[in-house]
Amino acid sequence: RQAAFRTDLSVLLDQVGTGKESLSFMKRRIHRLAQQWATAANRLDTKLGQRWRDQKKILVHVGFLTEESGDVFSPKVLKGGPLGEMVQWADILTALHVLGHNLKISMSVKELQGFLGVPPGRGSCPLIGPLPFDLIYTDYHGLQQMKQHMGLSLKKHKCHIRVIDTFGTEPAYNHEEYATLHGYRTNWGYWNLNARQYMTMFPHTPDNSFMGFVSEELNETEKRSIQQSKVNNMAVVYGKEASMWKQGKEGFLQILHRYMEVHGTVYYETQRPPEVPAFVKNHGLLPQHELQQLLRKAKLFIGFGFPYEGPAPLEAIANGCIFLQPKFQPPHSSLNHEFFRGKPTSREVSSQHPYAEQYIGRPHVMTVDYNNSLEFDSAIREIMRSKVEPYLPYEYTCEGMLERVHAYIQNQNFCTPEPPFIPANLSRQGSAGGSRITGPLFVALPNSTTLGWASNVTAPPAWPPLSSLRLLVSQEGQSCVDACQSAGLICEPAHFLFINNKEALRGLQVQCEVVDSEINHILPAFSVVRRECGLQREPLLFSCAGHSPKYRRLCPCRDFRRGQVALCRDCL
Ligand code: U2F
């Protein structure tokens, strides 16, 4: 069946259910943004023209909100607890509904069992017969619950699953055996999914798919009226929980207060939290629409380093604030910071909000060293002088999210068995000789649709299409994420399959005395000194994120649309 865009959200609102603050928060949000979604749906409908869109049967199982997972989030909704996840789930549900799919929503194990048709009760009674859904969106908690209650059949059906995973999962952590053997141990990984089945809140590592969420968009009239009502010396502090104001914040709060009136939205029960200085005008935790109003007046939205990578800075920037945030030197990661410890990624977080830093930047975002009071002081003065327009990257608009989710649903397929994976014709003797490679290099791959496949099988149409592929060599120790980025491109894990072969090495004129095929997440790569080349033997370990000091990596980069990094030019 063909999917038809929906602009009426009342059926969705009924489906979400009641009885918990988290659900009420999500429903208020869905209701408040209804008009924006409807406008976006109409625009995308026109943009896609008569394109056929399959209507999919989709189950959304929100694991972290189930009682069975302990649901620690719901009781904190009105007390300053994390709301980012609820923002994202509300938007995912809305996007799937608006795109016209056949949606079922489950927030308990009982509902999950009902929808999957497995008999209730504990134990891993396997689901017999076909899966009644084309796609299942869940999270790590939900995945665990499905494992418990679908038993062996989870293995059979897991290609249909998408895991909403805020901070991302890198391939080395996802591969059970590899992670166990090589010390990529975490609380979460080990599911042996295709890493693109994990969907993140921001485009962290391109190894995962970028799901995102939306932020409110202003029309031209609103933008103009905001410009007029901005209060030049008004700052709002990012941090709705008192603990975020603790320790070492007094120094720069004092500097800030020298120039600006400081506002906060810190949750409190009866008394003002002692962590919040008396000169701060604390509004208490605000409903989302009231926070937006406050941000419309403010000139500055200032982060103290936590929470990491939340939605609020995008909302502030969309309302014409400048976001000032601390640079992390050294970067925070699962290796050196408690918050990230046990998360299945070694991504280095360079500031409180790396997306704001790298994808938006000045004049909307300023990332400075807070330990340097001169630098901090001059940033505040610069902010008060400058005039900045409200800005929202396209990928965080309703239309951008619909476009991206539409493209994933219609094109990503992890179920069709891949043709036999043959890592090229291995030989012990060197490939073509040639000049040494010194910088980034692009080669056109001959006959690229058949590269990496046995010659007697036809490859399924690749998505993203191969027209977007640019092969590049990283520097020693550099990841493909960084190598592609420094060439103005993005690493595309789906393309690894086509560059993991001797033809690619030859095309790059790499001098190999040995070409081996191994299981290692930095492959394909080569060592310049030892003239050793390695191809990847385990497709699940193709990784944009991997890097190793002695190796230069072969990187499959691709182009991307401005403001929509998830999609290449020919991806729609
Ligand atoms: C992030 O979690 P948070 O939920 O703490 O992220 P924030 O950026 O603070 O805010 C999320 C929403 O809270 C709303 C605001 C944002 O959409 O509009 N809000 C509000 O309604 N009233 C207020 O007074 C202040 C804010 C991240 F999203 C999570 O994934 C992480 O787990 C967490 C820790 O890093 O950070």
Q: Is 85 in the pocket of ligand 1 (CB under 6 A)?
A: yes
Which atom of ligand 1 approaches the CA of 88 most closely? Answer: 28
Contact 559, 488 (CB under 8 A): no
Instruction: Give this complex's ipTM.
Output: 0.93
- Please give the pLDDT value at position 121: 62
Q: Is 308 in the pocket of ligand 1 (CB under 6 A)?
A: yes
User: How confident is the model over 395-453, as pLDDT tens digits?
Assistant: 999 999 999 999 999 999 999 865 444 444 333 233 333 333 333 344 444 433 334 43
CA of 482 to the centre of ligand 1 (A): 28
Lowest average pLDDT, out of 38-52, 120-134, 218-232, 548-562, goes to 120-134
* C-alpha to C-alpha distance for 19 and 320, rounded to whole angstroms: 36
- Report how far Cα 193 is from the mean position of its chain's Cα atoms: 16
The tokens describing 446, both together, are 């001959």
Nearest CA to ligand 1 atom 5: 82
Q: Is 26 in the pocket of ligand 1 (CB under 6 A)?
A: no
* C-alpha to C-alpha distance for 212 and 202, rounded to whole angstroms: 6
Alpha helices, DSSP H, located in 108-170: 109-116, 140-150, 153-157
- Please give the pLDDT value at position 130: 87
Q: Which long-range contacts (CB under 8 A, 24 or more apart) does 217-225 make?
A: 217/36, 217/318, 217/392, 217/397, 217/398, 218/318, 218/319, 218/390, 218/392, 223/320, 223/389, 223/390
DSSP string, 421-453: B------SS-----PPP-S----PPTTGGGTTB
Which atom of ligand 1 approaches the CA of 283 most closely? Answer: 24
* C-alpha to C-alpha distance for 25 and 84, rounded to whole angstroms: 11
Q: Is 82 in the pocket of ligand 1 (CB under 6 A)?
A: yes
Q: What is the mean pLDDT of residues 110-122?
A: 83
pLDDT higher than threshold 60 for residue 50:
yes
Region of 424 on the Ramachandran plot (φ > 0 left; ψ -120 to 50 alpha; else beta): left
Q: What is the mean pLDDT of residues 117-142?
A: 82
Which atom of ligand 1 approaches the CA of 201 most closely? Answer: 30
Strand partners, 2: 54
pTM greater than 0.90 = yes
User: How confident is the model over 357-390, as pLDDT tens digits?
Assistant: 999 999 999 999 999 999 999 999 999 999 999 9
